[in-house]
Structure 1
Amino acid sequence: MKRIMLSIFILLLLIGCKSEVPKEYLVGGTWVATAGYENGEAEGDPQCHTVISMTFKNNNLVYIEYPDQEFEYSFEEDKKDRVIFYSEYLSLNMRYDIKLIDDDAMAIAGVGGFEDQVCYMERQGE
């Protein structure tokens, strides 16, 4: 009985820990990759060659410095801390998990072919 109760408690805890990134958090200023991100710490050089700097706009558009292109963006329906950048023009979809650090810092980690891209990003200006 204790095992069942413990399992239910852990399941409820995991369901309650679902992370969600509000769009309002991303909009405002330009996010610039300032370091890599490893073991929960910003360290070393940025490891995200396709997302060096980005500016989110209110209407589901994000300007990414490289490849100097505007992308549409959305969040995965079942994983609200994963952003998808897509461009019909470039036939490109890029997926990144986002970890909120504070109001002006976040970490991003590439998913699905972009696993080597992990960056600590800071908001510049507003």
Structure 2
Amino acid sequence: MKISRQLLLFMIIIVMGGCGNVITEDQLIGGTWLVTNGYEDGEIGGDPMCPPFNEGLEFIDEENVYVIAEKEEFVYSLRESDEGMKIEFYNPNGEMDFFKITLENENGFGLNGSGMIKTRNCYFEREE
């Protein structure tokens, strides 16, 4: 009986630890997200570099985000990967941007480019 309780406790700890890094659409929806800094290696600071998102974002729902600089909606999706959470933006003209997304707190997240856009990075803060 003791072993099954210990096993159950261990399983709960593993599951809770794995859930801490998951970002949901609900956490992003609401308010305008403005770029305030760069974001590299998990550190906030430096010059932001993430066109076309430099003027900010407004997450409308679980699929659509308004890109202020472009004055139009993009489709986005969140997914888990071995490297952490990823966000993908799909521009209406067919272009795609892929970023690692890190939620620092309920009102701040960082983006780091991946693939061909690794140099792109920025930190967003929610303006409510």
TM bin (shorter chain): 0.7 to 0.9
| 1:25 partnered with 2:27 | yes
Instruction: Confirm whether residue 101 of structure 1 aligns to residue 109 of structure 2.
Output: no
Q: 1:49 aligns with which of 37, 48, 51?
A: 51
**Which among 65, 85, 88 is matched to residue 89 of structure 2?**
85
- Paired letter, 1:28: G
Identity %: 31
Equivalent pairs counted in the alignment come to 113
Structure 2 unaligned segments of length 5 or more: list them.
Answer: 1-13
- Report the residue type matching 2:96 in the other structure: N
How far did residue 104 of structure 1 move? 0.4
Which among 73, 76, 82 is matched to residue 76 of structure 2?
A: 73
State the secondary structure of the residue aligned to 2:27: helix
Query: Which of the two has greater strand per residue?
Result: 1
The C-alpha deviation readout for 1:14-51, integer Å capped at 9, x for no partner, is: xx546321111100111111001134321122121221
CA contact (8 A) 2:24 2:78 kept: no
> Which structure's residues are more often helix, by fraction?
2
Structure 1: gaps (5+ residues) = 1-12
| Cα distance in 2 between the residues matched to 1:72 and 1:110 | 17
* TM-score, normalisation: structure 1: 0.76
Aligned to 1:35: 37
Secondary structure at the counterpart of residue 113 of structure 1: helix
Q: C-alpha separation between the residues in 1 aligned to 2:126 and 2:95?
A: 25
Aligned counterparts of 1:59 and 1:39: Cα–Cα separation in 2: 27
